[in-house]
Amino acid sequence: MLKLLRNSWLWFAVALVPLLRAVYLLAAGELVNPIEFITRSSGTWTLVFLMLTLSITPLRQLSGWAGWLAYRRMLGLYAFFYACLHLLTYLWLDQFFDWAAIVADILKRPFITLGVLAFTLLIPLALTSTQGMMRRLKRRWGQLHRAIYLIALLGVVHYWWLVKKDLTQPIIYACVLSVLLGWRVYKRLQRQRS
């Protein structure tokens, strides 16, 4: 059982479930507003995968099991994958590739500006996620990939700013992110003291 749970392929397949569910609901004609559903679902899963990626270091430190690291790249790439889907839905189904309208929207709605900024920052991380790039960039790889903290923060604020009434969900993400970043600050202070 434990061996099965440690199988990366299993988690690779599990991470595809949100996409397969959306495709199924779309094909079955069960969605009242398909564009809204895909935009929201892909946005949610981008944020979830960002949080999961950030959970790996605390999990490794708490459990002492280095095997967690094997999942980090896959989770980060899934965050990028769902972010691409999210952006594509917006560009294609929401804005019909009307670039003038898209630029105007980015400048007009601050939550869109933050979303674009978060996505832009994700691109270099996805491009340098390979073992080869890790070796080539050495220390700079770690420095570059610290951008994930800012990306996750931008993602939470993006969500917070777009919600009009009930802030429960963005508050939950903000709390999770505070714990994940707070843990890093705590470990750093602990290292400095010892």
Compute φ and ψ for 97, nearest 5 degrees: 55, 30
Cα–Cα distance measured from residue 55 to residue 68, given in angstroms and rounded to the nearest whole number: 10
Of 96, 87, 94, nearest to 121 by C-alpha is: 87
Binding site for ligand HEM (CB under 6 A): 39-40, 43-44, 46-47, 83, 86-87, 90, 112, 115-116, 118-119, 122, 151, 155, 158-159, 162
C-alpha dihedral (76, 79, 80, 83), degrees to nearest 10:
-170
Based on CB atoms, which residue is closest to ligand HEM, 70 or 172? 172
Based on CB atoms, which residue is closest to ligand HEM, 47 or 74? 47
Least distance in angstroms from the C-beta of 31 to ligand HEM = 14
Based on CB atoms, which residue is closest to ligand HEM, 43 or 71? 43
Neighbours of 70 (CB within 10 A): 12
Helices and strands (H and E) in the chain: how many:
11, 0
Based on CB atoms, which residue is closest to ligand HEM, 71 or 90? 90
Least distance in angstroms from the C-beta of 91 to ligand HEM = 7
Least distance in angstroms from the C-beta of 119 to ligand HEM = 4
